[in-house]
Amino acid sequence: MSKTKTSLFLICLFTLAISVLAWGVLKGELEQNISGSDFQNQRREMVEKQIKKRGIKDRLILDTFLRVPRHRFVPDEIKSLAYSDRALPIGEEQTISQPYIVAFMTKALNLSPQDKILEIGTGSGYQAAILGELCDSVFTIEIIASLGNRAKLLLEELGYDNIIVKIGDGYQGWEEYAPFDAIIVTCAPTQVPTILKDQLKEGGRMIIPVGSSYRQDLVLLRKANHQLVEEKVLPVIFVPMVDTTGKKY
């Protein structure tokens, strides 16, 4: 190889090394930024633009959404989308609900600090974390073991000692801890399960998506004088409620 070619080769090699080094530094800075104050800014913007501006102005609920780090509940590869106005995939063909829907369902239950809550469909654990900030205790059931176990570990890591996670069929509820002050369901059966109605305390509330894969409504139920009053409150699309074999309820 001639001296000229050797020089050019060395220059190219040096330039490549500098480029790789620069990208490494930049990548590190980006990761540092997105894991720190940037997430806090995104969370504030989410609360202001996606939740408060749509009519949910309960200060306790807004403060809760400001505290809970939603980005911890989504896969690493889509953390930059954690605070966007949409549902996001979390694996196993499941999703973490749009922030506004989580807030809407939470608000609809008219929760009190002493309430005991049953959640059907743990998923990522985000809704359970929101409830855990607002209520005395949360009992949450996930039928997909990989999701339920991952959510359990994360909730423990974040310090939620008032949330109990169970792997099982949520259609059956959780008789051991019934009755519940409120029940929230984050997957859609075609009809409201009678078992869940029975596990609702007198004066209790339930919010649940009901319908087919193509048409669902959020239904709010209130139990008074041993009777349930049902009200359709919002059209939605949730993943279907299924049994242990994957058959839709």
Phi, psi of 137 (to 5 degrees): -155, 150
List, in sequence order, every beta strand (DSSP E) within 37-96. 88-91, 94-96
Q: 206-224, pLDDT tens digit by residue?
A: 999 999 988 899 999 999 9
CA dihedral 118, 119, 120, 125 (to 10 degrees): -150
pLDDT at 145 over 70: yes
What CA–CA distance (Å, rounded) separates 140 from 85?
Answer: 25
Q: Is 146 a catalytic residue?
A: no
The reported pLDDT for the residue numbered 1 is: 53
- Rg of the chain over all Cα atoms, to the nearest angstrom: 23
| Domains of the chain listed by start with CATH number | 45-236 (3.40.50.150)
Q: 13-66, pLDDT tens digit by residue?
A: 444 443 433 344 334 433 444 545 699 999 999 999 999 999 999 999 999 999
Q: Which one-letter DSSP state was computed for residue 199?
A: T
From 35, 84, 97, 137, the catalytic residue? 97
